[in-house]
Amino acid sequence: MKSNLFQIKHQLWLKILFGAFSVKDEAIFDTIYDFAMIEYRHLVWLGDELVSENVSFDYDKETIDFQAKNNFELFTIMIKALEEIQAHYTDSTMFSRFSSDEQYFIEKLTFLLEDENNDAPITAFDKSRKMEGFALDQAQTDALTLFLFEESYKEYELILVYTYSNFYNDSKVLGSIFSDLIYESHFHLKSFARMMSKMGLLSVPRTIMKRIYQFDDLEQFLVDGIKEEEAAKEECLKLAADVNHRELSAFFTFINYQENYHIALMEKALAYLEAKK
């Protein structure tokens, strides 16, 4: 069933994405992160097709098994997942694209496995709560830890909610706004998850409840979303003050200013909906 394939593709995207986040080497991370973003595009194309065929689907997922002791173990896990999903593809242009992309991913990961220099320990799950080069005290560490867990879930949620909304949206204006918000949330999720990885706290966000993305009132969702963004702004500023570290504080202030534009985009979407009444 294609709806079952949507769940499997969602899980594969997360396995590749969070696997990428766990890798220390920046060049290898960049390569695997690119693979994850292509898997996200696959998910979007599959969702669009399911909507056109009036097939229901959701974001339910099983436990994502991506944790590895070292890079080579991670590459092997990814190759196995990419190979297993091939059996779910039927004969179509879209599925041929999925398969050819993933055959390349497998080849690239296999090449990486052939060079011992690409192997390294993975410490993304060791719960050290320390970042190299950052001497944070207990209070600073606690504030940062709480923020990262809460905000990484929020960004994952926003990616999926706006993606789901776009599946059922036929407005070019709203589609553009939602796409911008999705892109921004990808960047925020990457930033927060990489920090979690460095602190040994990396984990896949919990499953999103259906009522959060399968809503009937888009206007109310946007109103609530603006309130959430305003709260996120306050959290960013509070964290910048609590951490009181020049580099980290500058980063979270930067995120705070980005949230200003997110609010403006959501207000634009609200104004568009109100004008259509």
List the chain pLDDT tens, one digit each, 277 residues: 676 999 999 999 999 999 999 999 999 999 999 999 999 999 999 999 999 999 999 999 999 999 999 999 999 999 999 999 999 999 999 999 999 999 999 999 999 999 999 999 999 999 999 988 788 889 889 989 998 999 999 999 999 999 999 999 989 999 999 999 999 999 999 999 999 999 999 999 999 999 999 988 889 989 998 998 888 888 888 887 877 778 888 888 898 889 899 999 999 999 999 888 7
Whether residue 204 contacts residue 14, with contact meaning beta carbons closer than 8 Å, is answered with yes
Q: What is the pLDDT of residue 1?
A: 67
Which helix or strand (DSSP H or E) is residue 82 part of? helix 71-85
Q: Which residues contact 148 (CB under 8 A, 6 or more apart)?
A: 192, 195, 196, 199, 201
Which of 275, 110, 127 has its CA nearest to residue 201? 127
Lookup result for tokens 């799950």: 125
pTM metric for this prediction: 0.95
Q: What is the pLDDT of residue 38?
A: 98
**Count of alpha carbons within 13 Å of 192, Cβ hemisphere only?**
25
Q: Alpha-carbon dihedral of residues 62, 63, 68, 73, nearest 10 degrees? A: -20
Cα distance between residue 266 and residue 263, in whole Å = 5
Q: Helices 138-167 and 172-198 meet at what angle, rounded to 10?
A: 150
Q: What is the pLDDT of residue 153?
A: 95
